[in-house]
Structure 1
Amino acid sequence: MSIYDEEESLVRNPVKLWEYSHPKDTKCWKFIQYVNQQHSTAFQTYDELYNWSVEQTSLFWKDVWDFTGVISSSPATAVVEYLKPMYPRPRFFVGAKLSYAQNLLYPISSPDEASTAVISVTEFGLTKVSWKDLREQVRKVSLALIRAGVHRGDRIAGYVSNNVTTLVALLATSAIGAVWSSTSSEIGAVSVVERLSQIEPVVLFADNASIYNQKKFDNLPKVSEIVQQLPCLRTVVIVETANLQIDLSLVKPKNGLAFTLDAFIADVEDGEIVEFVMLDFDDPLFIVYSSGTTGKPKCIVHGQGGSLLQHKKEHAIQMDMSLGDVFFQYTTCSWMMWQWLISGLASGATVVLYDGSPFQPHGDDSMFKLIDDLEVKYFGTSAKYLSILEQKKYNPRLKFAMKKLAAITSTGSVLSPSTFSYVYDTFGSILLGSITGGTDILSLFGAPSFLNPVYKGEVQVRGLGMAVHVMSPNGDIIDESGKSGDLVCTRVFPCMPVRFWNDADGAKYESSYFERFGRNIWHHGDFVVFSPKTRGLVMLGRSDGVLKPSGVRFGSSEIYNVLNQEFPTEIDDALCVGMTRPSDLDETVVLFVKMHHGVEFNSDLEQSIRSKIRIQLSARHVPKFIDQTPEIPYTANGKKVETVVKKIVSNSPLSIGASVANPDCLLWYKSWADRH
C-alpha cells in the first residue's frame, strides 16, 4: 500500500465537497469559447481544454497572451523556439518586447486611476494607495535609480517587508530594465549575504525595522553587517517602517552613499517622464533562491514575460480574477507567493500587502476581520495556518460575514483531508484551492478551477498548458494507475527559469531538473498520486522526503495527516524522516513530535500513535522510533527541514546552509543521533 487508507479510499471513491453553481459565468468558460472560435474546436469542459493546451503548446500560449491582454511594444515572430528537448530551455515569444512594470501599472482592464490599487496593512493600521499614486511613486523611484547610475541588467536587492514601498521598488526596478531580488527583513544577515553576494547588487533597499507580534525590531545593525560584506553596493536606501532612529553612517556602503527614501527621491522633479524599458520576453526580471538548507542557495533567474503570462493565466483564467477584485495572499517577500500576489495588478485586482503576524492584532480573528473589512474575494494562506485553525476548532463565520470571499487557496505544504472538511464545515460554499508549484517555476503546476468540483484531499486540476504527469522510478508514466510517483512535466512552458545565476555551462540548471529522467522530462521533486476519476492530484510530500522502509514508498505527509486528525490537542508539530546508516540493511522510520504546551509525552501516547498509524496506514508505516523534540527546524519560508534532519540521524556528511531559520535546534537532533 503506497498511500494511507483514507487517501487511497478517496482516490477510489472521491468525496465531492463543492461545485460552483455558475461555471458559465467564469472567464475560464469564456476562454473555452474563445479557443473554440479561434480553432474551430468544440470543447465543453476544463479537461478537454487542458488536453488541447498541452498538445498545442504554441497555439495555447498565444491564445493566453491575446485573451488576457499582455501589453507589448512589438509582437512575437514565434511563440516557442522548439518543443524538444526541454533542456536546453527554448526561447519563448521570440521578437516580442514588453515591460513587466507597464503591464502591472497600466493593465489592459484600465482601472480608474482614483480607485485603489494596493492596500498596505501592518499590525498597527493600513494605507490605501490609488493607481495614480502608485504610478507616481514608481516614477519617482525609477528616476532616482537612473540618477544613481543604475543600468539595464544591474541587480537591485531588497531587505524588506511586504509593503507598498517594496512593491514600488520592484516596479521601478522593472521599469528601467534592472533585475530585482528580495529577502525578508526578519531573516538573519548571514543568510542574506549568502544570497546577495552571489548576484552582486548595486542598490539595496532596506527597512529600518521589522514588525511582528506587536513588537518593533531595529534592522539597522543587520543592514550594517550586510552592507559591510557587499562591496558591490553603490547605493543603500533606508525605508522608514517604524519610528526608530536612523543613523545612515552605520549603513553607508564602502564605495557609495546611503539615503533615506525621502532623500533618495528628493531631487526628482514634477513632470519628469520615465520611459518603460522594453525587454525581450526571456530577459531577467527576478532572481529567487532555492531553499539552501544543505548548502549555498542556487540563484534562479525568471524572465520578464514568463511569470507575467503564467500569472495572468492563473489569476484570470484559473481563478476568475477581474477588475477591482480584492486579492490577499499572506506571504513574505522571500516566498514566491509574493510575486504571485503582486502580479494580480496585471489583472486589474486590488492587492493586499500584509506585514506582520497572522494572529495580530485581534488573535485568531485578525485575518478574517481584515477579509471582512476589506471585502476580500481571494484569500491565500498556508496549509499550516489552516491546520492551526482546525486544531482550535475556530469558526470565523460566527463573527464575520465575509460576503465577498469566493476562494481560499492553500500552499506551502500538504493540506490534509481533514482540513478540507474543516474549511467546508466552517466557510461553506467557497472554492478551496489546494495549489502546488514553487520557486523553481514561480507559479503553479496544480491549480484551482471554477469549472471543476473540489474533492476532499485533492489539488483540483493540473494547470492549463502544464503537461504534468506521475512517473514511476523506472521512468514510466503511471497517471491512470492510481499509484504514487514523482511529479514531472513533459512539455516546455514559458515560466521555466531562463537560467541560474553564475551557471555559465548550465550544469546546475540541468542537474536540478533534468538529471533524474533526462532532458525531455522536468523532475519537480514532489511525490504525488493522480486520481483517474477526478483528474486531480493528491500531494504526498517532497520526493527527497520519501520514506522507503522494506521497499514501501510513502510520503511524510501521510504520517502528518494521521497526527493532525487523531492528535490535534496533544501534538503541536512533527517531523518524520528516514534513517539509513552505513551499516543498515533497510531504512528506519523516525518520528519526532513537538507537544502542545502543558501536554506530556509518555508511553501511552507513544503506543496510541503507533496504533493509529498501523490502523490507518500499515504496519510498515509505523516508526521504529517516536520521540519528543523541543523544536522542529524550519526554513525562513516556513517549510520543514526534513532533509537536514534525515542526514543528521543517518550520520551522513552535511553542510547546513543559512536558510535554516532556527539552526540551533539541530544540535538536539545531533545529540539524539549520538544516543541512538
Structure 2
Amino acid sequence: MVEEGTLLWEPTPDVVREAKVTRFMEWLGRAGQDYHELWRWSVDEPAEFWTAVWDFFQVVGERGDGPVLSGAMPGARWFAGTTINYTANALRPRDPGHVAVIFRDESGERRTLTYGELREEVARVRAGLVRLGVGRGDRVAAYVPNIPEALIAFLATASLGAIWSSCSPDFGAPSVIDRFGQIEPKVLLAVDGYRYNGKVFDRVEVARKIAASLPGLRTTVWIPRLGTAPESTGTDAIRWAELRAEPGELAFEPVPFDHPLWVVYSSGTTGLPKPIVHGHGGIVLEHLKALSFHQDLGPEDVFFWYTTTGWMMWNYLIGGLLVGCTVLLYDGAASPVDSLWRIAAEEGVTYFGVGAPYLLASMKAGLKPEGLERLRGVGSTGSPLPPEGFQWVYDNVGRHIQLGSFSGGTDVCTGFVGAVPLLPIRAGVIPCRALGAKVEAFDPEGRPIVGEVGELVLTVPMPSMPVMFWNDPDGARYRESYFAEYLGVWRHGDWVKFRPDGGCVIYGRSDSTLNRGGVRMGTSEFYRVVERFDEIADSLVIDTGRLGQEGRLLLFVALAEGAELTPELVDRIRAALRTELSPRHVPDEIRVVPGIPRTLSGKKLEVPVRKILLGTPPEQAANRDALANPEVLDHFRP
C-alpha cells in the first residue's frame, strides 16, 4: 500500500511563475504571498475577492451600484443590481478560427466547431427557439447525450434568459418525468436513440411518453442519432434541422445576477429529486475561478471530462468556453478501459477528467497510457481517490502531471476542495480548500476541528450556491437540505479531515458512517483495502447499527471476471481489514452480489441498501429509475 501523504509532485518554479493564479496574485498586488494567505483573504473578505474575480476576467455584464454581498446564509444575495448573461461570456469575441468543440463518440464519429461556427449555430438555434415562443424565464428541457447539439441548445437557451435542464437518455421515462415534470418545460429536445458499449438503444417511444407527461409542453424537437426520429408534425414536433434552419442574430438578454440559468437535480434515489437552480452570475464567476485558478486552463488547452448530460460535470465541462478552451465532448462507454486514454492522445488533450473509478479500473487493468505528450493535468471526482490511485497516475501517466482530486457537488456545481498549481500533490490528499470556499470540519457540537474526521461544512456563502429550489416558494426545502443541522452554516453531508497544512481527505457520506465500538470511520477507507484485491471488481460495506446499538457489518463484493470468493480470499480480506483498519472493522459476513447498485452518476447506494437490510422494501428504499443498474437491488434483501 502507498502511505497517505507521500509526496508525488511539486510545482517547478516555471509552473508557479506561469500559473494563472500567480498572475491573479500579481494583479492584486499580492505577489510573494503563498496560496494559504490568498485563500484566507478570499474567505475573510468575500465581497472584495469576488469583485476582484469579476474585474480580473473582465466579465461581460453591467455592474450595479448595489452591495456585492448582503445578508447571510441561507439568504445571502450577491451583486444586487447587476445584469449579466452566461452565453455572452462563453461566446465573447475570440479568434473565430480557434476550435471551440471537438466531438467524439464510440462509433468513430468526429466533428469540430470553431468559435465562429459555434456562434453561428447558437444564433440559428436561438432564432428557432424564438419562433417556438421561448423567452425569458421559459424552460427548455433536453433528453440528449453529450453531443454538440446539447451544448448549442443550452447556449441558445441561456442567451434568451430562458432556463435549461437536461437528462441523459440512459434515464428511464419515470426518472425523467420526476425531474422535468417539476419544471414544466415549454420545449423538449429529444434524441431518437443512442449507442453505448456497442449496443443501440432506441428512445423514440420513451421520449414520446416523457413528452405526453409534461404539462404545458408545446413542442418536441427531435435530434436524429439513429435515423428513427419521427417526421415533423407542425408546431407539436419538429426536427433539429428545422430549428436551426434560419440564420439569426446572436443577441444576449441581460438578466439579474441571480436569474435562473439551469436546473440540475439531486440523485433522487430515495425521493423526488431536488430541482436545484443556479444563477447566471454565480456560475460564471465560480467557473472562471475554478477552471482558471485551480485547473490552470485557458485558450491553449483541450479540456475533457468524461460525463453525461445528467451529471453536473457536463455543466462544468462546458464552462471551459468561459476561459476560451477547446472542450472535448464524448458520447459513449468508457470501454475498453483504455478507450478514453486513446482519445485523449489522439486529440491532444491537456486536461483529462474522469470519475475516480475509471482511474482505479485503469490501475487494475495494468494500463500505461501512451501518446499523452500534451497532457499536463488529470482530474478526479465523484468519489474519493485512494493513495494507490494517485501513485498509479504518477507511475504510469506522467511524473509531470498535476493530479487534481476534487470534491464538491451538484448543489454548487463546483468543488469545495481541490488542487492548485502552487501546491504539491500528496498521495490520497486533496491539497487545499478552493478560493472563496470557507470549508471546515465540524465536530458534533459545531466546533471546527483539525486532524480529526468531522462534518464538511461551509461557513461563508459562495455565489454558486443555489438561488433556490424550483417549486419551493418559501425556501423551506432548501433550508432543510443544508441548514437544519447548524444555524447559518451549510452542512454538505460528507466526512472530511483537514490536515494542519490545509490539505484534506474525504471519507464518504456522513450518513453512511461505519461506527464500530465507538470508532467512527468513512467508507472510503474500507473500500481502499477491499478493492485493492484483484479478485474484487467493486464493493459495498454497510453497518446495520442503530443509535445506541451495534449492528452487523456486512461486506458485499462484486467479483472480477473469472474470480471466486474462496475461503482463502475471505481470509485474506479479513486479515487485511484487521491489520490496516482495526479488528472492529472485520465484516461479520462477506456476500457475493452480481453488482453494486449505483446512481446514474456513479455513486454507490450505501444509505438505501442499509434501509433495505433493516427491513425497508427495495421499491421504497430507492427509486429504481434513478439507478444505473436497478436489477441488482433485490440481491440485498435481508
TM superposition score category, shorter chain reference: over 0.9
Are positions 1:459 and 2:430 aligned together? yes
Task: Give distance in 1, aligned partners of 2:498 and 2:118.
Answer: 43
Which residue in 1 is equivalent to 2:443? 472
Pairwise mapping of residues 624-635 of structure 1 onto structure 2 (< 5 A)? 624-635=588-599
Larger displacement relative to structure 2 (385-394 or 598-607):
598-607
How much has 1:74 moved relative to structure 2? 4.1
How much has 1:663 moved relative to structure 2? 2.2
Pairwise mapping of residues 106-117 of structure 1 onto structure 2 (< 5 A)? 106=92, 110-117=93-100
Q: Does the aligned pair in 2 maintain the 1:288–1:300 contact within 8 Å?
A: yes
Task: Give distance in 1, aligned partners of 2:190 and 2:474.
Answer: 33
Residues 75/326 of structure 1: CA separation in 2 closer, same or farther (3 Å cut): farther
How much has 1:624 moved relative to structure 2? 1.4
Q: C-alpha offsets along residues 325-366 of structure 1, whole Å, 9 cap, x if unaligned? A: 11011110011110110011010100001101122xxx3432
Are positions 1:550 and 2:517 aligned together? yes
Q: Does the aligned pair in 2 maintain the 1:550–1:587 contact within 8 Å?
A: no
Which residue in 1 is equivalent to 2:457? 488
Task: Give distance in 2, aligned partners of 1:491 and 1:245.
Answer: 51
Which residue in 1 is equivalent to 2:283? 307
Q: C-alpha offsets along residues 631-666 of structure 1, whole Å, 9 cap, x if unaligned? A: 211111111111110100012474422312322321
Are positions 1:376 and 2:349 aligned together? yes
Task: Give distance in 2, aligned partners of 1:143 and 1:125.
Answer: 28
Which residue in 1 is equivalent to 2:474? 505
SS at match of 1:488: strand
SS at match of 1:553: strand
Which residue in 2 is equivalent to 1:656? 622
Which residue in 2 is equivalent to 1:578? 543
Q: 1:540 aligns with which of 485, 503, 507?
A: 507
Which residue in 2 is equivalent to 1:530? 498
Task: Give distance in 1, aligned partners of 2:382 and 2:81.
Answer: 36
Task: Give distance in 2, aligned partners of 1:120 and 1:617.
Answer: 44
Are positions 1:15 and 2:6 aligned together? yes
Give the alignment's TM-score, normalised by structure 1: 0.91
Which residue in 1 is equivalent to 2:127? 143
How much has 1:391 moved relative to structure 2? 0.6
Figure out how many residues of one structure are paired with residues of the other and give that number: 631
Q: Does the aligned pair in 2 maintain the 1:156–1:179 contact within 8 Å?
A: yes
Task: Give distance in 2, aligned partners of 1:188 and 1:210.
Answer: 13
Q: 1:155 aligns with which of 139, 144, 155?
A: 139
Residues 20/76 of structure 1: CA separation in 2 closer, same or farther (3 Å cut): farther
Q: Does the aligned pair in 2 maintain the 1:581–1:651 contact within 8 Å?
A: no
Pairwise mapping of residues 581-620 of structure 1 onto structure 2 (< 5 A)? 585-620=549-584
Task: Give distance in 2, aligned partners of 1:111 and 1:265.
Answer: 23
Which residue in 1 is equivalent to 2:486? 517
Which residue in 2 is equivalent to 1:356? 332
For structure 1, the 5+ residue unaligned runs are 1-5
Pairwise mapping of residues 77-226 of structure 1 onto structure 2 (< 5 A)? 77-82=66-71, 84=72, 86-87=73-74, 89-106=75-92, 110-123=93-106, 124-226=108-210
How much has 1:324 moved relative to structure 2? 3.0
SS at match of 2:455: strand
Task: Give distance in 2, aligned partners of 1:206 and 1:47.
Answer: 46
Q: C-alpha offsets along residues 254-287 of structure 1, whole Å, 9 cap, x if unaligned? A: xx51011112233x2x4x4242100011010110
Q: Does the aligned pair in 1 maintain the 2:173–2:209 contact within 8 Å?
A: yes
SS at match of 1:594: strand
For structure 2, the 5+ residue unaligned runs are none
Are positions 1:31 and 2:24 aligned together? yes
Q: Does the aligned pair in 2 maintain the 1:580–1:650 contact within 8 Å?
A: no
Q: Does the aligned pair in 1 maintain the 2:259–2:279 contact within 8 Å?
A: yes
Which residue in 2 is equivalent to 1:3? none
Q: 1:65 aligns with which of 32, 42, 54?
A: 54
Which residue in 2 is equivalent to 1:264? 243
Which residue in 2 is equivalent to 1:644? 608
Pairwise mapping of residues 45-56 of structure 1 onto structure 2 (< 5 A)? 45-56=34-45
What amino acid sits opposite 1:546 in the alignment?
T
Q: Does the aligned pair in 2 maintain the 1:43–1:49 contact within 8 Å?
A: no
SS at match of 1:181: strand
Q: C-alpha offsets along residues 58-102 of structure 1, whole Å, 9 cap, x if unaligned? A: 1001011111221113445321113x3x11x22111111111011
Task: Give distance in 2, aligned partners of 1:342 and 1:571.
Answer: 35
How much has 1:153 moved relative to structure 2? 0.5
Task: Give distance in 2, aligned partners of 1:316 and 1:403.
Answer: 21
Task: Give distance in 2, aligned partners of 1:536 and 1:343.
Answer: 26
Q: 2:361 aligns with which of 381, 385, 388?
A: 388
Task: Give distance in 2, aligned partners of 1:425 and 1:498.
Answer: 43
Q: Does the aligned pair in 2 maintain the 1:581–1:650 contact within 8 Å?
A: no
Q: 1:441 aligns with which of 399, 412, 416?
A: 412
Give the alignment's TM-score, normalised by structure 2: 0.96
Q: C-alpha offsets along residues 609-634 of structure 1, whole Å, 9 cap, x if unaligned? A: 11100000101111112111112111
% identical aligned pairs:
40
Are positions 1:331 and 2:307 aligned together? yes
Q: C-alpha offsets along residues 128-154 of structure 1, whole Å, 9 cap, x if unaligned? A: 101111111111111111111112101
CA-atom RMSD, angstroms? 1.7
Q: Does the aligned pair in 2 maintain the 1:122–1:356 contact within 8 Å?
A: yes
Are positions 1:412 and 2:382 aligned together? yes
SS at match of 2:156: helix
SS at match of 1:94: coil
SS at match of 2:521: coil
Q: C-alpha offsets along residues 567-606 of structure 1, whole Å, 9 cap, x if unaligned? A: 1x20010011111369x82132211001112111122221
Task: Give distance in 2, aligned partners of 1:410 and 1:288.
Answer: 21
What amino acid sits opposite 1:456 in the alignment?
A
Task: Give distance in 2, aligned partners of 1:309 and 1:561.
Answer: 35
Task: Give distance in 2, aligned partners of 1:186 and 1:322.
Answer: 32
Task: Give distance in 2, aligned partners of 1:186 and 1:528.
Answer: 32
Which residue in 2 is equivalent to 1:403? 373
SS at match of 1:195: helix
What amino acid sits opposite 1:33 in the alignment?
E
Task: Give distance in 1, aligned partners of 2:517 and 2:445.
Answer: 18
Q: Does the aligned pair in 2 maintain the 1:591–1:627 contact within 8 Å?
A: yes
Q: Which runs of 4+ in 1 moved over 6 A?
A: none
SS at match of 2:531: helix
SS at match of 2:214: coil
SS at match of 1:591: strand
Are positions 1:346 and 2:322 aligned together? yes
Task: Give distance in 2, aligned partners of 1:639 and 1:655.
Answer: 16
